[in-house]
Amino acid sequence: MFDPQYYPFASRRNLVYAHRGMVASSHPLATQAGLQILHEGGNAVDAALAMAAALPVVDPANNGVGGDCFAIVSFRGEALAGLNSSGFSPALLTRERVLAACPGAKEMPKRGWLPVTVPGAPAGWAALHERYATKSLQELFAPAIELCRGYALSPDNAPILNTCTDLFAHAQDPVLRRWAEGFNPEGRTFRAGDRFAWPDMGQTLRRLAESHCRDLYEGDLAARIDAYSRESGGLLRGEDLAAYAPRWVAPVHTSFRGCEVWELPPNGQGMTALLALNLLEALPLAGAGEVDKLHMMMEAMKLAFADALHYIADPAYMRVSPEDLLSKEYARARAACITDRARVYAPGEPLRGDTVYFCAADGEGNSISMIQSLYEGFGSGVLVPGTGICLQNRGACFSLAEGHANVVAPRKYPYHTIIPGFLTRDGKPLGPFGIMGGYMQPQAHMQVLVHLLDEGHNPQAALDAPRFCWTDGLRFDMEPSFPHAVVDALRRRGHEIRVLSGGQYGRGQMILRAGESWAGATEPRADGSVIGF
C-alpha cells in the first residue's frame, strides 16, 4: 500500500484564475462548501461562512466551535472592516488562582480548564452574517452538517487525530482523558482515507444555525458548558458566555513597496508583521544578496517580536498606542540596531503621543480574509460531552509576570496569534491573504510579502518559497530547500539554525485582483485548495 505522506519529488502548483468568484482554504472539502454557496448565488461572506462551519468538521484539531475567529472584509467599495471575535477570560480566572493550582509556574498551563477562554467564533459568524450575508445560516451550514454524516480523512488530519488521542488518553488530568473517551471512544488508529462521522457536531451546528448562534451563549449549549465546567473544576460560567459580544474594529496598516498592508489591531499580533515590514523598509533590502537579505529579515523579525511580545495585549491594558509602534521614525531608529551579526533584542521605547486560514471573493468585487483557531491541537483538550465542542486554550497566551500588560486577569482578552491580512494599492482593494501557524503567522506574512512585493513573485510562488521560523533567542528553524551554502553563511553570522522539514512554517491562502479576474494561490505545505468559477 502506498504512503500518503511520502512525496520524494518536487511538485508545482499553478495560479488559479476566475472572474465570477473564488474560494480558498486549507481543506478541499471546506473549499467545496464555499464554492457550492457561490454557485447558489451567495456572496464572498456567504461562502466564507460556509467554509467557517465546515472547517471545524474536516480539520477539528486546528479550529472549532469552541475557538475564536478574526476577519477583514472588503464590501461594496466601503472602507475595510475588521472583526475581532476573540473571547475573554472567565470572571473567576485570576493570577492567584493559576499560581495556587500550579505552584512555581512561570507560564500559563496549556491544557485543561485554566487556559480556557470564552469561544468567540460562533458570535463572529453571526456578526458577519447579520452585516453582509444574503443566505440563511441554515443554508450556509448545510454543507458542514452533511459532512458530519461522514467524510474521508486527509493525509494531514489523520496523524494529528492519532497524536491527540494518544496524548489525552494517557494524561493525568481526567478532563483530558474524557476528551479521548468522547472523541475516539473506540480508540481507533486513524488512517488517511478512513471514513469519519461526527453526529454530535452535526447537532451542534443545527442548533447554532437555528438560533443565529445564540444557543452557545444563552441556550442549551451554554447550559451544557456551564454544567460541565462546574462539575469538572472549570472556571467558565454561563454568565461569561452571556456577557460576550464580538467587536468591529478598524484595521491598521503600513505601506510597503507601493502597497498598503492591513492587519487587525491588538489584542491580535498582526502588528508584528507590520513592525517587521517597517524595519525592512528602513534597511537596504532592495538589491541585497540572498544571505544579506535573509539576515536582515531574520533580525527584523526578532526586533518586531521584542516589541510585540512586550507591548501587545488587551487594548485596555496597553501602555503604547498602535500608532506609536507603527511610526516610520521609530522603525528607522530600531533598524539602526541591526548589524551584520545575529543579536537578541530588548523591547524599544516607542515615541509617545494550531489555526485555519481561508478567504473568498465574488464577482461583485467583494472579498473576505478570515481565520479561526483553537490555538493548539484540540485547544485545551476540554470536550463538552455530547456536543462535539472542544474549548480553546487561548488563555495560554497570557503572561504570569506581575505587572506585564498581558498578565492574566478576569474578563481580559489575551495576546492573540491569529491574524488575517489584506492588501490594497492606492486605497483600492487587491485582496485577502493569510498564513496560519501560531507565532509563525507574522513571520510568514513578512516573508510572503517580501517575495510578492519586493521580489515580484506571483502569489503561488510567494507561498511556495522556503521559509524560516524564529523560535527564541538566536534560534531559527529553516526548511531544507534553502541552499546549504546560505544556511552555513547565516550560521557564521551567529544564527543558531536547525534545518527541519515538516516544522511549523505556516499554511496559507491568497486571492488577489488580476485585471478583471481573481488570481488565487494555496499552500503547498497542507491539503489546501483554491477553486474559482
Secondary structure (DSSP) of 280-321: HHTTT-TT--HHHHHHHHHHHHHHHHHHHHHH-S-GGG-SS-
Max CA pair span of the chain: 64
pLDDT of residue 352: 42
Q: Which of 204, 355, 387, 522 is catalytic?
A: 355
Q: Would you state the cell numbers that stand for residue 291, as one nine-digit string? A: 544571505
pLDDT of residue 9: 76
Instruction: Give tens-digit pLDDT for 207-263.
Output: 999 999 999 999 999 999 999 999 999 999 999 999 999 999 999 999 999 999 999
pLDDT of residue 429: 97
Q: Is 263 exposed, middle or buried (0-12, 13-18, 19+ CB in 10 A)?
A: buried
pLDDT of residue 3: 84
User: What type of residue sits at position 265?
Assistant: P
**Exposure b/e, 344-366, CB count within 10 A at least 16 = b:** eeeebebeeebbbbbbbbbbebb
Residues of the chain with pLDDT under 50: 351-353
Q: What is the DSSP string of 73-141?
A: EE-TTPPPEEEEEPPPPPTT--HHHHHHHSTT-SS--SSSSTT-----HHHHHHHHHHHH--S-HHHHH
Instruction: Give tens-digit pLDDT for 328-356.
Output: 999 999 999 999 999 999 998 774 436 88
pLDDT of residue 353: 39
Q: Which residues contact 4 (CB under 8 A, 6 or more apart)?
A: 155, 192, 193
pLDDT of residue 10: 76
Rounded (to 5) percent helix, strand, coil in the chain: 35, 20, 45
Rounded to whole angstroms, what are the CA distances from 390 to 202, 235, 302, 350, 385? 14, 15, 33, 39, 9
**Exposure b/e, 419-457, CB count within 10 A at least 16 = b:** bbbbbbeeeebbbbbbbbbbbbbbbbbbbbbbbbbbeeb
Could you tell me the pTM of the whole model? 0.96
Instruction: Give tens-digit pLDDT for 219-235.
Output: 999 999 999 999 999 99
- The pair phi, psi for residue 283, each rounded to 5°, is -110, 160
Q: What is the dihedral of CA 341, 343, 347, 353, to 10 degrees?
A: 0
Task: Please state, as a whole number, how many other Cβ atoms lie within 10 Å of the Cβ of residue 268.
Answer: 27
- The pair phi, psi for residue 529, each rounded to 5°, is -145, 150
Is 339 considered catalytic here?
no
